[in-house]
């Protein structure tokens, strides 16, 4: 009788694992077409190239501003932006308009179904991030409780 129960429990667990595995496989279904993936890769490559080109145009003084850890991020950003030359400003504007054009072309190819899948994926990611924050808080509380218990034992 026990062997039958154990066999049934193991079979139920195996079926449950199979169902979970299928759910995970469906969650990773591809949203984009191969053409759209290529468009995204081209967009990413263009951004990287533009960034490298712009970084190479920075002067030593501008690099020093960027590496100054005494300034806050906002102060660094303001200081560096005021130090840009006209050519650097024009380069940034050209880079922005190029990336905007690439994004607009990509957005024109997205179907309503893809938009919905993207929204769902964003919601799931936000939920995961929220769960991670909650877990960190719980872990922090547990650590504090353990510290307090150790202090009580010592004292």
With beta carbons less than 8 A apart as the criterion, state whether 83 and 65 touch.
Answer: yes
Contact partners, residue 40, CB within 8 Å, separation at least 6? 32, 106
The overall pTM is greater than 0.75: no
Per-residue pLDDT of 42-94, as tens digits, reads 999 999 999 999 999 999 999 999 899 999 999 999 999 999 999 999 999 99
C-alpha span between 103 and 110 (Å, rounded): 11
Write out pLDDT tens, residues 4-31: 566 656 566 666 665 555 445 444 458 8
């Amino acid at each position: 009788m026990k062997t039958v129960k154990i066999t049934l429990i193991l079979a139920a667990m195996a079926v449950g694992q199979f169902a979970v595995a299928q759910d995970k496989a469906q969650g990773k279904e591809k949203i984009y077409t191969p053409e759209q993936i290529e468009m995204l890769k081209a967009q990413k490559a263009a951004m990287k190239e533009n960034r490298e080109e712009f970084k190479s145009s920075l002067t030593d003084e501008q690099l020093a501003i960027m590496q100054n850890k005494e300034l806050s991020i906002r102060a660094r950003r303001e200081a560096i932006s005021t130090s840009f030359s006209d050519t650097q400003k024009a380069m940034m504007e050209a880079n922005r308009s190029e990336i905007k054009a690439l994004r607009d072309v990509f957005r024109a190819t997205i179907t309503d179904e893809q938009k919905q899948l993207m929204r769902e994926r964003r919601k799931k990611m936000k939920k995961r991030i929220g769960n991670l924050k909650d877990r960190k808080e719980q872990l922090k509380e547990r650590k504090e409780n353990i510290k307090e218990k150790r202090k009580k034992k010592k004292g």
